[in-house]
Structure formats: structure tokens, C-alpha cells
Amino acid sequence: MRGHGVLGSAVALCVFALAVTAGGAAQPVGQQVVLPGPVPYPTDNPPLLGRTPLPPAYLGPLLHISSTDRVVVGVGPDGRPVRVVAHQRLLVHGKGDYQLAISVPVEDVQAAAGSDSEPGLRTDQVLWAGFSPGRKVLAANVTLRQRAAGKYLPVHLRLRRAGDRVTLTVINTTPTAESLYAGTTHRAELAGLLDATRRASLAGQRLTGAYATFFGRVRVPKQKVPIEAPIRVEGELRLPGQAPVPFSRTLGDGQPLGFRVEAHGSGTPHVRLLARPVPVVRLLRPPGAATWVDAVRRRPLPAAFLLRRLLETRMRLVRADQYQSFLSDPDADGRSRSVYEYETVAASAPRVAAAPSDGGGGTSGLLVVAIAVGSVALAGGGLVFWAHS
């Protein structure tokens, strides 16, 4: 239930709405411009939304709820999701009443092991009501409507067989186009903000509100940039009688948004994959110094580069935070964590594609995204190189 919505993607909106001008036109004065994070989220989903209006909710003033979602995705022989079940565990801290409704495209819900209460079900709503004597576990297995939930999963898989070769393609599907903004700024201040953002990211903390000082006009370039949630994926592709092919990558954070794994042999391939949103690490690493402040002291990194890096990394952290709540946490200030487990569930062999001799059959989406990210990384790298030269 954190702030989200398509309008949320208009970062510029926040920028101008919250800008505090110092007044006076005689000389250029700084204006405090709000930076991305912790909200709003750039898209409506996730957390998933149902179609029905929610009844009034109540959460006692002394109560806090943290949420952990384990999203189990059953994939078919072609790698597409055929079943999505979210195991949500809400931990209620404090003494008081709660009446909660979670909006979600739900088919069915059952109490999960360890739950202190039974969930209720309405059309597109999971309900909880009761009293917490100090601590209470509300755990449910929420069977989601696959078509409604599947399109918001952070990773898509494709399995193809050509002869004795099976190819698994894994793609980060979280990128969304967002607006940046530009203007005249203080390099030292931006460096300090980058360091603060980096500390929060490495500590796994949610962003807190932050401002940067702009002098003169704040511009919003027409061209939007793709912003992804960095996703860590680990797993294996296995064929009967063959050694499993393990993989472990971070998709995003300046690295490609997809990859392929191949295995050889006959029989039905089996995939297991664990995906989780992770902090921004690589893009927040200061060039040639321990901190961004030191880096700026050593060489004059352009303020435009620093600003863009600050905005993009904060947007990525917001996007990653968004995917930490696949199902809503009824406590807007609660801590949410989500992991996504994919596993093949169909016994039949994957759909046999026409033998793609050049492998071109499944490249389009992956390559487009990879090229886009590559070019962004190259541009960033070029700036760093320029700064070092």
C-alpha cells in the first residue's frame, strides 16, 4: 500500500511540486529539489492490485506489520508461468486491533503453517481481522490468478529445445521508462548524496527522502531512460542423467538484463531459479576512490554525470523496493521482502522450436534490452574514462 501508481513514474512531478524556492529574482538562488525515493513507485503493480474496492481497514496505532512473500512460480515446459502462489507471512508487532484487507488477484487462500489466524476471502481480497496480544503471525498461501499475476513477475523464462540442445533464457522484466531531470547543481553536494545513497543501498535500507540544490531552471529532458530493479538470480538447468548447469547473475545494476544457459542431452529439462531484488552496488561504486566525495576531490567529475548517476541509482533502488512487495503490506511503513522461486512443473517436454541455427529465434527481447543497458553502461564508462584522462 505504499505510494504507487503510474503518476508515480513522473519523478519530475515531485520535483516541481515539492521544490522550495528561496524567492528573490536578483541573483540565482538555490532551490531544494526532492530526489527519487522512497516513493512513489513508477508503476501501479507490484504490489499486485485486485479489481474490487477495499473495505475500510484498521490498524491499531501501536501495531506494525512486516511482510515476507515467497512467490512460487510454476513454469510450463516452455518456461512460461502456469501457476503463481504467494506465501505471504505478515508479522504483527504490538498490542491492538487489526482489520486488514489486501487487494490482490486471488483465486483462493488458505492459512499457511504457523499462522495464528485464518484468512478471509472476498473477490480479489484477502482479509485478516483480530487482536494482537503483542505478536501475531498471519500466514497465508495465496493462489493468484496466473494471467493477472504472471505479467508482473520480475523475471521471465523461456525454454527451447533444438536437437539435443536446450536453451534457457532468463530476462529481467522490470525496466520501465522514467524521466530524469537536469540543471545546475553542486558537485560536492551530489557526491555527498551519492555516498549517502550508497550507504543505504549497501546496508539494505529503504531510501529516505533527500533533496538536492539546483540553481536556475530545472529541466526535464524529453527522452526517458529505462530503469530496472536489479535482480539477483541463482539456479540450475538440469537434464536427466546430466550434470546440472548452475547459474548465478545479477540482472541490471549496469550489467546485462538477460542471459542464456545451455544444456545438452535428451529428456525433459528441469529449471529451478531463485530471484530476488537486490541493492544497487556496481553503479554506486565511486570511480577510483573510496567515496564519491573523495572521487570528486581527486578529479572534476562533471556535475551532470553525478546528477544523472544519483537519479538513476535512486530510481533503481525505488524500483527494487517496489519488487520487495509482490503482495501489499497493510502497514505502509512496514518492511517487506519478496523472493521469487521458479520451477518447472509440467512433466511434458518443452515445445520444440524450429531449429534456430543462428539462435536468432529468441534473441529479440533479450538483445534489445541488453543493448540498451550496454549503451547506458558505455556512456557512463565513457564519462568516467574522460574524467580519468
Partner 1 sequence: MRRSVALLAGFALIAVLAGGCGKKSAAPGGKIVVAVDVPVTGSPYIAETIKHGVQLAASSTSSGTGGVLVGGKNYGLKVKVYDNHASARQAVENTRSALDAGAVAVVTDGTGVQATWQLAEQKGVPICITYDGASGLVDPAARPNVFRIAPTNHGIAFRYAEYLIPKGLKIGLLHDDSAYGQEGASDLDRAFSENPRSVALRMTLPAGTADLSAQILRARRSGATALLVWGQPSTIAAVLTAARSIGWNVPVYAPPTGSDPYIRQRLADHPSWVDGLTFASSRLTAEVGTTPFENFQSQYESAYGVDEVGVKTAGGKPVVQPPEFAMYSYDCVNLIVAALTRAGSTDPRKVQAALNQVTVVGANGDERGFNQHNHEGVVDDDVYFARFHDMTYAPVKDDPLSSTLPAIPQTR
Enumerate binding residues for partner 1 (CB under 8 A).
52, 55-56, 58, 60, 95-97, 99, 109, 117-123, 125, 127, 129-131, 133-134
Nearest distance, CB of residue 105 and partner 1, angstroms: 15
Nearest distance, CB of residue 221 and partner 1, angstroms: 47
CA-CA distance, 367 to 371, in Å (whole number)? Answer: 6
96 or 226: CB nearest partner 1:
96
Nearest distance, CB of residue 179 and partner 1, angstroms: 39
95 or 298: CB nearest partner 1:
95
Nearest distance, CB of residue 52 and partner 1, angstroms: 8
**C-alpha cell, 1:** 500500500
CA-CA distance, 75 to 65, in Å (whole number)? Answer: 31
79 or 119: CB nearest partner 1:
119
13 or 121: CB nearest partner 1:
121
Q: Computed from CA positions of residues 20, 26, 27, 28, in that sequence, does the dihedral angle turn out positive or negative? A: positive
94 or 244: CB nearest partner 1:
94
Nearest distance, CB of residue 148 and partner 1, angstroms: 18
**C-alpha cell, 83:** 501457476
User: Under a CB-based contact definition with an 8 Å cutoff, are residues 228 and 252 in contact?
Assistant: yes
Task: Please identify which residue in the block is written with the cell numbers 493477472.
Answer: 148
Nearest distance, CB of residue 110 and partner 1, angstroms: 8
User: Under a CB-based contact definition with an 8 Å cutoff, are residues 64 and 94 in contact?
Assistant: yes
Is 310 in a helix, a strand, or coil?
helix
Nearest distance, CB of residue 85 and partner 1, angstroms: 16
User: Under a CB-based contact definition with an 8 Å cutoff, are residues 157 and 170 in contact?
Assistant: yes
76 or 120: CB nearest partner 1:
120
What sections of the chain are H helices per DSSP?
A: 11-18, 146-150, 187-202, 292-298, 303-322, 364-388
CA-CA distance, 45 to 55, in Å (whole number)? Answer: 20
CA-CA distance, 229 to 63, in Å (whole number)? Answer: 30
* 130 beta partners: 98
User: Under a CB-based contact definition with an 8 Å cutoff, are residues 172 and 228 in contact?
Assistant: yes
46 or 119: CB nearest partner 1:
119
* 336 beta partners: 67
Is 262 in a helix, a strand, or coil?
strand
Residue 181, CA distances (Å) to 10, 15, 222, 229, 301 in order = 10, 9, 9, 20, 18
User: Under a CB-based contact definition with an 8 Å cutoff, are residues 338 and 230 in contact?
Assistant: no
User: Under a CB-based contact definition with an 8 Å cutoff, are residues 130 and 136 in contact?
Assistant: yes
Residue 114, CA distances (Å) to 88, 117, 138, 330, 369 in order = 12, 9, 8, 19, 42
Nearest distance, CB of residue 130 and partner 1, angstroms: 3
Nearest distance, CB of residue 58 and partner 1, angstroms: 7
127 or 304: CB nearest partner 1:
127
Nearest distance, CB of residue 90 and partner 1, angstroms: 15
CA-CA distance, 81 to 141, in Å (whole number)? Answer: 17
* 170 beta partners: 157, 259
